[in-house]
Chain A
Amino acid sequence: MALHVSTVVVPIDFSVASTGAIETALEIVDSPSQLHLIHVMLPLETMSPGVLLGDVTDVSRTEKVTTALKKLADDHDADGAHLAVMIGTPGLEISDYAKRYEADLILIPSHGYHGMKRLFLGSVAERVLRHAPCRVLVLRRTDNE
């Protein structure tokens, strides 16, 4: 492949498509350590039962997601990949992360939202395309969300 990259950011939303993106990314890089698997969580809803009565906090959420990312990396032979968890608007956080780590490529599957959700949510991939500081490879998603 003519594309030479040293740092690839792969946003993970734990859908089949995003985990599949890890495999594509591994084909592009020389070593899993060049991969950054990142997950963006939405801000906590302060009125949710887990916050008001349970022990759900951003710390507990980050721990759980990190564990899940680690397992995902192991399952896909991507041991050694960098793992990161952020809170905020996915499209913007992904682009900021890529800027911070001077990534060469963001590899992201496209979503299949329709109707109202498309109108309001747009797609994370679209937003990344608009804000990314580097090249973006959008993987076409075959299943509908």
Chain B
Amino acid sequence: MSSRTQKLFVFFICLFLSGLSPIAFAQGNEDGNTVTEQNAGVANEETTTQALSESIDAQFGFIVENMAKVLFWVPVQAVPIPLIVLILFCGSLFFTIYHKWLNIRGFKHAIDITRGRYDNPNDPGEISHFQALTSALSATVGLGNIAGVAVAIHTGGPGAVIWMMLIGLLGMTAKFNECTLAMVYRKVRPDGTVDGGPMHYLEIGLQERGFPFPVAKAFGLVFALFCIGGSFGGGNMFQANQATSAVRGMLGDVAGINWVFGSVLAFLVGLVIIGGIKRIGQVTEKIIPLMCGIYVLAGLVILVIHIKQVPDAAVLIVRSCVSPEAAYGGFIGVLVQGIRRAVFSNEAGVGSAAIAHAAAKTDEPVREGLVAMLGPFIDTVVICTMTALVVIVSGAYNTPEAGQGVEMTRWAFSETLSWFPTILNISVFLFAYSTMISWSYYGEKAWQYIFGTTRTAIIIYRIIFLGFIILGAVASLDNVIEFSDLMILSMAFPNIIGGVILAPRVKTLLEDYWRRYKNNEFVVYD
């Protein structure tokens, strides 16, 4: 760490430790009075912090509400599906049909590639296929799988799960399309590092398809803007919010806990992204697959214990997906909730994972696309479905005291395995942490696309990113989810439209690759 970065970091930490507490505790309460008396007491402090949190949340809510009017525009009032949800669904369906159900026919080959059968260490890139998948999963497997599913069931009813699974399956081919494109148009720098992602393939690819430079650049810029927003929203605030919620569930409503925990999280993320302490990030990334395994295993244990209720739960899910209760907004309401939460969780069509997959060591773009395809399957079809079944068989979804979001999932697990919440809380923290680190990378790549790679530009981004962690811990779940959805789903606008325009290029590559694969022309390394 250079002395300059060190100074910045120390300054930043001091700002946190010294600045936040006075802001949180000494600012005026809602009446405008300032708490100055020494014996103001815990009750007063609590009101003050709460008032500040509420005021921030209210302002944030105002911004979100106005953004939603534009970004979640509903084209046909009679069918209340926001345009972006329609684009995501139709886009994923298009890619699946256009690439001739590659999500099914390419599944086994994708697993073989991930196992390392075709790994050539001399190929250009930074990481193996398996590592690329792990990296992308560490960004997607997170609170979307634990809390997001509970949110989907809470707002869309059990039927939303079917739509989550469906969009998970269709999303596999959307993910294939975008990650293959990211590989085709990535830049390998002379130092061996890689720069790739939708902003690059949109800019270069669309020009190749005959679009004028300003149009292609606009696609790249719009994507990059939403990606930066996504890195502050779903990749950050939502994680911080739900991790804080998990801690609050453990410790109870201690005064100022949101501020304190938010600052601790920001500090820990800052250690890696500003402090340059890569070891922490490395360890976290390596623990994530293990935590996923433990989570799925615990889910399985609960399902085995409740085996008698599983068929009923399945029937409930299927029945409420086709004849949903009016309380959840009818059929369309359930569909929209299912798609929103699934895409939020697996990010298929969103283009974010393409930034990580572009780093894979291979000279076959299609091969990495196939590996990427497994992401939505593991994330949504396996992990989200597991959470959903646990939430339903435990009865948490219709128990008001179970709470919402991560609290509902925790209630569901603890109902059968009373000791599990501790492990769940650790998982929540680690998932949130690794997702934030991965997303800070995505956001920074998008930021660099717009503002360049100078140190000043990069440090500004990183500091804003840390600020959003605290904001996420303080704001309410509703506003955080709305903002996060807005940003992450909006990334799909340029990405899916561009992806459809560039799909013929992917198809040509896929057909050539598939022919060579069927003719056994590939070198096998195991």
Stretch at the interface among B325-333, B364-372, B416-424, B454-462: B454-462
Of the listed stretches B82-90, B147-155, B271-279, name the one at the interface; the rest are far from the partner chain: B271-279
Say whether B293 faces chain A, with CB atoms less than 8 Å apart: no
Q: Are A121 and B457 in contact (CB under 8 A)?
A: yes
**Quick check: B277 and A53 within 8 Å, CB to CB?**
no
- Assuming the contacts A43-B2, A47-B437, A47-B441, asked whether A52 and B285 have C-beta atoms less than 8 A apart, the reply is yes
**Of A46, A53, A60, A113, which is within 8 A of B452 by CB?**
A113
Q: Given the known inter-chain contacts A47-B272, A54-B126, A54-B127, please indicate yes or no for A64 contacting B190, CB distance below 8 A.
A: yes
A42-90, CB < 8 A from B: 42-54, 56, 60-62, 64-65, 68, 88-89
| Minimum C-beta distance from B247 to chain A (A) | 23
- Chain B residues lying within 8 Å of A89, measured Cβ to Cβ, are 454-455
Interface SS of chain B: helix
B458 to chain A, nearest CB (A): 8
Q: Is B309 an interface residue (CB 8 A)?
A: no
B463 within 8 A of partner (CB): no
B440 shortest CB reach to chain A, Å: 5
- Assess whether B438 is interfacial by the CB under 8 Å rule: yes
A24 → chain B, closest Cβ, in Å? 21
Per the bound structure, the CA–CA distance linking A43 and B126 in Å amounts to 16
Q: How far is the CA of A41 from the CA of B193 in the complex (A)?
A: 11
For residue A53, which residue of chain B has the nearest CB?
Answer: B131
Q: B-facing mask of A4-38, CB < 8 A → 1, else 0?
A: 00000000001000000000000000000000000
Residue numbers in A under 8 Å from B5 (CB-CB):
43
Q: Which residue of B lies closest to A117 (CB)?
A: B452
Asked whether B75 is an interface residue with its Cβ less than 8 Å from the other chain, the reply is no
Contact B441 A49 (CB under 8 A): yes
A45 and B190 contact, CB distance less than 8 A: no
Knowing A14-B190, A39-B190, A60-B192, the reply to whether A50 touches B451 (Cβ < 8 A) is no
Given known contacts A54-B126, A54-B127, A54-B359, A48 and B457 CB-to-CB distance under 8 angstroms: no
Q: Is the CB of B454 within 8 A of A64?
A: no
* Number of chain B residues close to chain A: CB under 8 A: 39
Cβ of A68: which chain B residues have Cβ within 8 Å of it?
Answer: 190
Q: Which of A43, A88, A120 contacts B451 (CB 8 A)?
A: A120
B55 beta carbon closer than 8 Å to chain A: no
Closest residue to B359 on the A side, CB-wise?
Answer: A49
Query: Which residue of B356, B451, B453 contacts A49 across the interface (Cβ within 8 Å)?
Result: B356
Residues of B within 8 A of A53 (CB): 127, 131, 134-135, 282, 285-286
In chain B, positions 273-311 with a C-beta closer than 8 Å to chain A are 273, 276-278, 281-282, 285-286
Contact of B453 with A42 in the complex, beta carbons under 8 Å: yes
Q: Are A54 and B441 in contact (CB under 8 A)?
A: no
Give the distance in Å from the alpha carbon of A116 to the alpha carbon of B446 in the complex: 13
Docked pose: A47 CA to B445 CA in angstroms = 11
Q: Which residues of A contact B285 (CB under 8 A)?
A: 52-53
A89 to B459, CA, bound (A): 13
- The answer to whether B272 touches A46 (Cβ under 8 A) is yes
Contact B126 A50 (CB under 8 A): yes
Note all chain A residues with C-beta closer than 8 A to B127: 49-50, 53-54
| A56 touching B126 in the complex, CB below 8 Å, given contacts A46-B281, A120-B451 | yes
Contact B193 A46 (CB under 8 A): no
Minimum CB–CB distance for A61 against chain B, Å: 4
CB neighbours (8 Å) of B189 from chain A are 14
Known: A48-B359, A89-B455. 18 other contacts (CB 8 A): A43-B276, A47-B440, A47-B441, A47-B444, A48-B441, A49-B127, A49-B441, A50-B127, A52-B281, A52-B282, A52-B285, A53-B127, A53-B134, A53-B135, A60-B192, A117-B452, A120-B451, A120-B456
23 contacts between A and B (CB under 8 A): A14-B189, A41-B191, A42-B453, A46-B272, A46-B276, A46-B278, A47-B272, A47-B440, A48-B441, A49-B131, A49-B132, A50-B359, A52-B278, A52-B437, A53-B135, A56-B126, A62-B191, A89-B455, A113-B452, A116-B451, A120-B454, A121-B452, A121-B457
